[in-house]
Amino acid sequence: MKKTIAVLPGDGIGKEVAGGAVSVLQAIGERFGHQFTFTYGSIGGGAIDALGTPLPEETIELCKKSDAVLLGAVGGPKWETLPGHLRPEKGLLRIRKELNLYANLRPVSYYAATAENSPLRPEVIEGADMLVVRELTGGLYFGKPSERTKTDGEDAVVDTLFYKKSEIERIIRLAFELAEQRSKKVTSVDKANVLESSRVWRETAEEVAKDFPEVKLEHMLVDNAAMQLIKNPKHFDVLVTENMFGDILSDEASVLTGSLGMLPSASISSDGAHLYEPIHGSAPDIEGKNIANPVAMILSAAMMLRTSFGLEEEATAVEKAVEQVLESGSKTADIAKKGQPTVGTAEMIEEIKATILDNQAILNIMNCYS
């Protein structure tokens, strides 16, 4: 198979982990006989420094003509005081909108090898496996007006939470379709006791549910959901929610894997290239120290293999290699037990890559004797 992949490393640890996804994909190409071509584009703070904009037009064109996009992370203290429209994060929001990436799928699974690093008790997290389906191109992030203003002679400010009913319907429908392939349960999270948008969200979920008689629908208020995620994560199968609630709840859910550095995501479009990104940010506090966990980024590449290219065996090979390396005891500082030795970002990437290639060598030997 031949595929073109746009790589947008971005800022901070984004630059350190994006290379990891590329080298793992190169190993997959080598092992399974695929030709992946990588073309690099700029986004975020680096693009502001070089070109004066967080999302250059050529990056948008590159993404649109590629088969899939890999993104590291954007942002950092250097750009924090810029006006909103010039911030690195604006580049990320705009590429999501330009590519029509309306759904962000964030799987959260229990890992035996990192369980002891979670602050949650083993019996609470063991076997937890959920998928957060986050709406990605609407809600408070994109509503107009969003501006500083004046009211009664005073400084004031407004952000707008806006959704078209069709935008609510398509994300909830996708959640039901995904639940059909999983444990057939959708938890729709909202704030329907306060927000009109949430009441429409809830009504829409009820309407969509009629088309999926095998899937159980429950509604949960977001404040309760934040608590239940920690108290009883195994309660959840597919959790669907609007943009900002999904952003917050998925960082919270990462705690059951032991680290934010473990969680991948796929940002899905209805009509073009999908984008794959870890859920974490540019982590300025650990930038440049070779200690960032590359697993979230590498597992995002596995999601790309499965979702964009239909390469199930290859995706599983990446996931298995990650698990094998973690089980062998090689861990970055965020997932290592206190006092245990750690490996650096680059070493972790090399080990995962070598495991992918070694597993093939072992398979070849076994085939010789079978």
Q: Residues interacting with ligand IPM, by CB under 6 A?
A: 75, 89, 92-93, 247, 279, 281
Is residue 92 within 8 A of residue 43, CB to CB? The reply is yes
Q: How far apart are CA 331 and CA 113, in angstroms?
A: 9
Separation between Cα atoms, residue 227 and residue 22, nearest integer Å: 37
Q: Is 293 known to sit in a ligand binding site?
A: yes
- Ordered strands of the 266-269 beta sheet: 35-40, 2-10, 68-73, 274-276, 266-269, 101-109, 129-135, 238-241, 185-190, 216-221
**SS3 category, 89:** helix
| Torsion angle of C-alpha atoms 340, 346, 347, 349, degrees rounded to 10 | 110
Please report how close the Cβ of residue 291 comes to ligand IPM at its closest, in angstroms.
Answer: 21
Assess whether 353 carries a catalytic annotation: no
Q: Return the residues of window 224-263 that contact ligand NAD according to CB under 6 A.
A: 259-261
Selection from ligand IPM, Mn ion, ligand NAD, none that 285 binds (CB < 5 to 8 A by kind) is ligand NAD
Residue 85 known to bind ligand: yes
Q: Residue 145, annotated ligand binder?
A: no
Nearer to ligand IPM, 74 or 343 (CB): 74
Q: Which is nearer to ligand NAD, 56 or 75 (CB)?
A: 75
The H helix count followed by the E strand count for the chain is: 12, 12
User: Minimum distance between the CB of residue 362 and ligand NAD, rounded to whole angstroms?
Assistant: 29
Say which of 97, 185, 234, 251 is annotated catalytic.
251
Annotated binding residue 237: no
Identify whether 223 is a catalytic site residue.
yes
54 is in an annotated binding site: no
Distance between CA atoms of residues 288 and 213, nearest Å: 51
Classify 234 in phi/psi space as left (phi over 0), alpha (psi -120 to 50) or beta: alpha
Note if 211 is an active site residue: no
CB of residue 246 to ligand IPM, shortest distance in Å: 8
CB of 80 to Mn ion, least distance (A): 16
Q: Which residue has the tokens 């729709």?
A: 188
Q: Point out the residues that are catalytic.
A: 141, 191, 223, 247, 251
Residues annotated within the binding site are 76-89, 96, 106, 134, 223, 247, 251, 281-293
Residues annotated within the binding site for NAD(+) are 76-89, 281-293
